[in-house]
Amino acid sequence: MAEGPVRTGKLRGNLPQLELYVPEPRYRPGDTVDYTHLEIPEPGLLARPDEACEASETWPLTLDMIRVLGDDDRAVGPWNPGLDPETLRRMLATMALTRAFDDRMYRGQRQGKTSFYMKSTGEEAISIACAHALAADDMVFPSYRQQGVLIARGYPLVEMVNQIYSNRADPLKGRQLPIMYSAKDYGFFSISGNLATQFPQAVGWAMASAIKGDTRIATSFVGEGSSAEGDFHAAMTFAAVYNAPVVLNVVNNQWAISSFSGFAGAERTTFAARAAGYGIAGLRVDGNDILAVYAAMEWAANRARAGKGPTLIEHFTYRAEGHSTSDDPSAYRSAREAEDWPLGDPIMRLKKHLVALGEWSEEQHEAMDRDLAEQVKAATKEAEKNGILGHGLHHPFHTMFEDVFEELPWHLQEQAEQAIRERQTKWPEWKE
């Protein structure tokens, strides 16, 4: 007679049942917002370690926050980059131009001129400061809210609109979703809708740069939600093991569409603190303070160039508007969250700093905004001559078969010719 299974180990007795913890955001639509739980340090208090320091010296900074601009609109502390007024005005104008561009493209989507758009409202300081702190030929592996990098590097606004409208002048020939730019000549890698893929790509590019003995470094951006993807951790591992000259940025804007940052681990510790687990340098910075962001990126870039390896930077900020034109944030978060955000608006903070220095005025700011709005309007009108969504002005039909193979295989050549013949038969009036 067969014996039954033998039970081993302790009996459970009166042990309590296990419970699964599911994070919940502090505020939902209609709730009163209270940000007193956030630890916002006074500006200028944190030490600035040497760029060649041991990575462990930076780990206390991952639990704090680097800040430069104070409530009196003055720049203080060892992280103050000491930028000249002309550079500050240029950064202010680039942030304002990015916001003006976003606003017009948002309206264009609502008018049916494009299918989709994503704004960077409230996060402009991150991309613009990083673009200014990097060398012009350093490689950027962006997410979909880094349009400010392209604008800061002088990429033509008309070309950006052409891509968004997927018209006949679209440099990507309609093969990418709107706002997923690619600009090799501007050191801007193709944006992917698959989240976090750009992190290991940036690390691999940086490793290749080191192998070749080049001087260029790489940087990449993901949102805090995307940091829960496996690609994030693969990138961190390779960066740490091979001491890759790369700066990895987590833009913590509190929300990954309707999922708040707790689902990516924000309730346990900061995102910057993950640097310690991989043994690399880490910084946590006020993402709405453009001077602090500039200083952090400059520090990390100099460190990478000096052969001291990767740095993880968390930019603590807030997505002031919807995730995209397909999103309604009022369905999942309190309307007061953006209004009451304690770190303010990055454009207004830099504007007030320049005014406090006597290098700017309300009148100059208003004139700048009018001029930038006209600049964006002119670029949009020029791009619309090439067509808008559904207008019929698109790239020639035959281009859908091009740019994959150096020489089109015979069977695809036959399919292309057949498709073109059928199209001409169905629409005799059609012309390329």
Residue 222 lies in a domain: yes
Predicted confidence band of residue 3 (pLDDT cuts 50, 70, 90): low
Nearest-angstrom CA–CA distance, 235 and 422:
47
With residue 259 as reference, give the H or E element that holds it: strand 259-260
User: Partners of 281 in the beta sheet?
Assistant: 311
Residue 283 lies in a domain: yes
Nearest-angstrom CA–CA distance, 183 and 191:
10
**Do 230 and 178 lie in a common domain?**
yes
**Do 301 and 421 lie in a common domain?**
no
Please report where in the chains the tokens 């494009």 appear, as a residue: 114
Q: Under 8 Å CB-to-CB from 11, ≥6 apart: which residues? A: none
Residue 410 lies in a domain: yes
CA 155, 161, 167 angle in degrees (round to 5)?
Answer: 125
- The answer to whether 154 and 185 have CB atoms below 8 angstroms apart is no
Nearest-angstrom CA–CA distance, 18 and 198:
38
Please report where in the chains the tokens 């990097």 appear, as a residue: 134
Name the residue among 61, 101, 429 with its Cα closest to residue 272. Answer: 61
Residue 8 has pLDDT above 80, yes or no: no
Please give the C-alpha separations between residue 66 and each of 9, 85, 330, in angstroms, as whole numbers: 51, 21, 31
How many structural domains does the chain have? 2
**Do 121 and 261 lie in a common domain?**
yes
Residue 22 lies in a domain: no
Amino acid letter, 212: K
Tens digit of each residue's pLDDT (9 = 90 or more) over 163-220: 999 999 999 998 999 999 999 999 999 999 999 999 999 999 999 999 999 999 999 9
Q: Which residue has the higher pLDDT, 398 or 362?
A: 362
With residue 223 as reference, give the H or E element that holds it: strand 218-223
Nearest-angstrom CA–CA distance, 257 and 224:
11
What CATH number does the domain containing 238 carry?
3.40.50.970
Tens digit of each residue's pLDDT (9 = 90 or more) over 384-413: 999 998 877 778 777 888 888 999 999 999
Residue 43 lies in a domain: no
Nearest-angstrom CA–CA distance, 378 and 158:
9
pLDDT at residue number 126: 98
**Do 270 and 377 lie in a common domain?**
yes
Please give the C-alpha separations between residue 109 and each of 75, 387, 427, in angstroms, as whole numbers: 39, 14, 29
Which residues form the domain of 198? 55-384
**Do 403 and 371 lie in a common domain?**
no
Tens digit of each residue's pLDDT (9 = 90 or more) over 227-252: 999 999 999 999 999 999 999 999 99
Residue 342 lies in a domain: yes
Residue 366 has pLDDT above 90, yes or no: yes
Tens digit of each residue's pLDDT (9 = 90 or more) over 411-422: 999 998 998 899
**Do 277 and 420 lie in a common domain?**
no
Please give the C-alpha separations between residue 393 and each of 19, 167, 178, 264, 390, in angstroms, as whole numbers: 58, 6, 16, 43, 8
**Do 77 and 172 lie in a common domain?**
yes
Residue 186 lies in a domain: yes
- The answer to whether 65 and 316 have CB atoms below 8 angstroms apart is yes
What is the CB neighbour count within 10 angstroms for residue 268?
9
Q: What percent of the chain has pLDDT over 70?
A: 97
Q: Under 8 Å CB-to-CB from 397, ≥6 apart: which residues? A: 419, 420, 423, 432
**Do 413 and 338 lie in a common domain?**
no
Residue 122 has pLDDT above 80, yes or no: yes
What is the CB neighbour count within 10 angstroms for residue 369?
16
In a 3-state reduction of DSSP, which class is residue 289?
coil
Nearest-angstrom CA–CA distance, 218 and 264:
25
pLDDT at residue number 5: 65
pLDDT at residue number 72: 97
Residue 346 has pLDDT above 90, yes or no: yes
Q: What is the mean pLDDT of the chain?
A: 95
**Do 275 and 422 lie in a common domain?**
no
Residue 375 lies in a domain: yes
In a 3-state reduction of DSSP, which class is residue 331?
helix
**Do 256 and 124 lie in a common domain?**
yes
**Do 133 and 206 lie in a common domain?**
yes
- The answer to whether 113 and 388 have CB atoms below 8 angstroms apart is yes
**Do 324 and 411 lie in a common domain?**
no
